[in-house]
Amino acid sequence: MQLSNTSQYAIRMLAYMADKKDSPLINATELAKVLQIPYKFLTKIMTELVKADLVISMRGREGGYSLSKKASDIKVDDILNVFHDSIQEEQCVLGIGFCNGMCKCALHDQWMEPKLLLQKMFRESSLEDIAGKGCKI
């Protein structure tokens, strides 16, 4: 019951970048070292974030990565969507069926509440919220 490694890495990478919004470009070497994420895996993930238009990359010497928009405009859910790790509308807590409300077990209604809270949290929390709150992640 937790996010994939890849999503976790992606969130931390982008949160770090949001935190260092003074630097126009941040490179993979720095990110890998500071966040303790394998360099090659990090660049692989970053390339996906570039393709998803959450990040802009500059190749070549003095290159690096930067957020494609304001930190407050990049929601956690946008990141999760890139890696298909977001909570779907009809997703069953047990992963058994898809909730249609027609025929339900006792857990169905109980699941609604935490599910809605999680969805809300992911959709409304931006990188700005996560970063720069005194605690580096």
Partner DNA sequence: TTTAATTACTACTTTAAGGTAGTATTAAAG
Partner DNA sequence: CTTTAATACTACCTTAAAGTAGTAATTAAA
Q: Does 136 help bind ligand SF4 (rule: CB under 6 A)?
A: no
Stretch that binds ligand SF4, among 36-44, 55-63, 67-75, 90-98 (CB under 6 A): 90-98
Q: What is the CA radius of gyration of the chain?
A: 17
Three-state SS at 59: coil
- Show the site string, 32-71: x = touches DNA by CB under 7 A, - = not: ------x-xx-xx-xx--xx-----xxxxxxxxx------
Q: Which of 25, 58, 94, 116 binds ligand SF4 (CB under 6 A)?
A: 94
Q: Could you give the CA distance from residue 66 to residue 73 in angstroms, rounded to a whole number? A: 14
75 binds its own copies (CB under 8 A): no
Q: What is the DSSP letter of 87?
A: P
Q: Give me the amino acid identity at 96.
A: I
